Amino acid sequence: MSLQVEALAKRFGATRALDGLELAVREGEFLALLGGSGSGKSTLLRLVAGFEAPDAGSIRIAGRDMAGLPPAARPCAMMFQSYALFPHLSVAENIGYGLRRAGVFSQARVEELLALVGLAGFGPRRPAQLSGGQQQRVALARALARKPPLLLLDEPLAALDAGLRAQTGAELRRLQRETGTSFVMVTHDQGEALALADRIAVLADGRVAQIGPPQEVYHRPATRFVAEFLGAANILQRPGATYALRPEQLRLVDGEGLAARVTGIVFRGEGWMVECLADGGQPLRVSLPAGAIPPVLDAAVMLGWDDAALVRLGA
């Protein structure tokens, strides 16, 4: 295991940021920690990196217990959300900072890292002279310099323009594969998590609500929270059980179905999202392909689905 977290707890005043969290990250794995604000995902990263001490529980990196170790003594490296590049040092000095501290500085290694992130020749510049995307890559090279077994990434794409995000995400994925480093990436963006990660851990109230490969977490949500947080599923209450139903699994049908009225229509580029209110008072979202002709507002429609698409939810 690259990272093993057991029964981790941390409170700030009256709020429980982490509440008995368990997590295991495999070697060479890209894990996304997905959660809303206040879910404890950033706290987890700061505890693993050693900036805060846990109230209870243990953290092991590559099998070693981290209790009491300062950040400098931990084998993991962190890439900060706003990059935290040292403004008074050049790009090369930023990348070489960790190498110097470990006494393994070499100009060749710095050049190698610059080339790895596609910034060969940028060494003498200052961080302020780079674009946001370039700064992001310097931060990545700096964190990877000492070949840490585990890299913690705090919202690595959040500060980038939407257009740059997909491309940079793919670049992250490539670097993770090439270096074989375990990545633990904190994000609030489900698209990012689904696209990049080997596994996704959804955090809620200081615990892991569900962990698994993206397809599994998306299609078989374990709890109502996961179902609503990922892909905004419809929640159906049936006697004795609660089910999730993805908007894309619902269809407008001509014959038998659930009678409903259209209350809203939103065009989203890749398709339409039609908001309906079923006769029993149940709100339902239906997603239609972009080529479809959507119903008009207030129209009476019939909704249908395969019962196989219903996912039974835990508590």
Partner 1 sequence: MSRVVLWLGLGFLWAPVLLMAGFAFSDARQPFVWGGFSWRWFVALAGNARLLEAASLSVLLAAGAATLAMLAGGAMGWVLARQGAFRGRAVFGALAAAPLVLPEVVSGLALLLLFVALERLTGWPQGRGVLTLLLAHASLGAAYVAVVVQGRLASMGPLLEDAAADLGANAATVFRTITLPLIAPSLAAGWGLAFFLSFDDVVLASFTSGPGATTLPLLLFSQLRMGATPEAHALAVVMLGLAVAGLCLWQIWLRSKNRVS
As measured in angstroms, the least distance from the Cβ of 53 to partner 1 is 13
Q: How far is the CB of 26 from partner 1 (least distance, A)?
A: 23
| Nearest to partner 1 of 25, 260 (CB atom) | 25
Cα separations in angstroms, 63 against 25, 50, 101, 165: 11, 16, 23, 34
In the complex with partner 1, which residue's Cβ is closer, 72 or 293? 72
Residue 158 or 302 having the CB closest to partner 1: 158
State how far the Cα of 95 lies from the Cα of 86, in Å rounded to an integer.
10
Q: Could you tell me the smallest distance in angstroms from the CB atom of residue 88 to partner 1? A: 5
Phi-psi region of 66 (alpha: psi -120 to 50; beta: other; left: phi over 0): alpha
Q: Distance between CA atoms of 182 and 26, rounded to whole angstroms?
A: 7
Angle between helices 132-144 and 107-116 (to 10 degrees): 130
For partner 1, give the closer residue by CB, 17 or 48: 48
| Alpha helices per DSSP H over the chain | 41-49, 91-101, 107-116, 132-144, 162-179, 190-196, 214-219, 224-229
- Cross-strand pairs, 234: 245
Q: How far is the CB of 131 from partner 1 (least distance, A)?
A: 17
* Distance of closest approach, residue 123 Cβ to partner 1, in angstroms: 15
- From the number of C-beta atoms within 10 Å of its C-beta (0-12, 13-18, 19+), residue 137 rates as buried
Cα–Cα distances (Å) from 83 to 45, 78, 163, 174, in that order, read 15, 9, 19, 20
For residues 99 and 106, is the Cβ–Cβ distance under 8 A?
Answer: yes
In whole angstroms, the minimum distance from the beta carbon of 166 to partner 1 comes to: 26
- Number of other CB atoms surrounding residue 72 within 10 Å: 9
Which residues contribute to the site for partner 1 (CB under 8 A)?
Answer: 49-51, 70-72, 74, 77-78, 80, 82, 84, 86-88, 97-98, 101-102, 126, 142-143, 145-146
Q: Closest CB to partner 1 among 100 and 251?
A: 100
Burial class of residue 131 (count of CB atoms within 10 Å of its CB; 0-12, 13-18, 19+): exposed
Find the shortest distance in angstroms from Cβ 31 to partner 1. 19
Which CB atom, from 54 or from 247, has the smaller least distance to partner 1? 54
- Residue (86 or 267) nearer to partner 1, CB: 86
